[in-house]
Amino acid sequence: MRKMIAAMKNPMDAQSDASGGDANWVRSWSRDYGLTPQIDACLLSGRMYPGYEGYWTGLQDAPDRPLPMTGKLPTQDEIKWARFIAQVPHYVLSNTLTSAHWPNTHFLRRLGDVSSLKQAPGKAIYLVGDAHIVATLIDAGLVDELRLIVDPLMVGSGQRVGQDSALPRYRRQVSTQAE
């Protein structure tokens, strides 16, 4: 069985999605959490996928131009990650989305479809998370590992990972790293 690794950035107050549903507090999206050699697929929510696809497509198409979402030039790490994910199949858990610009994108409709994906041969699956999908898949028993990067700032309101979920069963710290 493939492993599902959820990885996400969080501010110190654990409000991972600001009250408007965005994460404009994130300074860079390039951090790969050490996942690159371990994964061969990405899973996202239908809520997150359109912005993700737009951001990384813009970077892939024009790596020498400022990104519309940030107004900044992409970092070398962002360019490296963009090249990597262009080669990786993406799965989107959504009841409403039916099309994507990326050619290797597949739509999953139910949690059972995610379970079937885990049963398929391959490396680990990276759950590119917003708080809602991470909590949903943790509650369904489909997440095997959770990796968090904690930024030293406070967002103040929004969705917390594990709010109203079964997250306490994952509270065994395996390792920490400070930069």
pLDDT of residue 13: 57
> Cα–Cα distance between 156 and 13 in angstroms, integer?
7
Strand pairing category for 145-151 and 39-45:
unpaired
> Cα–Cα distance between 126 and 5 in angstroms, integer?
5
> Cα–Cα distance between 15 and 37 in angstroms, integer?
29
| Residue (of 162, 142, 104, 101) closest to 5 by Cα position | 142
CATH number for region 4-169: 3.40.430.10
Q: What is the pLDDT of residues 62-79, one digit of tens each?
A: 999 988 777 888 888 888
Q: How far apart are the first and last CA of the chain?
A: 33
Residue 155 has pLDDT above 90, yes or no: no
pLDDT of residue 19: 42
Whole-model pTM: value is: 0.81
- The conformational region for residue 36 under phi > 0 = left, psi -120 to 50 = alpha, else beta, is alpha
pLDDT of residue 20: 44
Q: What is the mean pLDDT of the chain?
A: 79
Q: What is the pLDDT of residues 14-56, one digit of tens each?
A: 555 544 444 454 455 555 667 889 999 999 999 889 988 988 8
Strands (E) located in 19-143: 39-45, 90-93, 105-108, 124-128
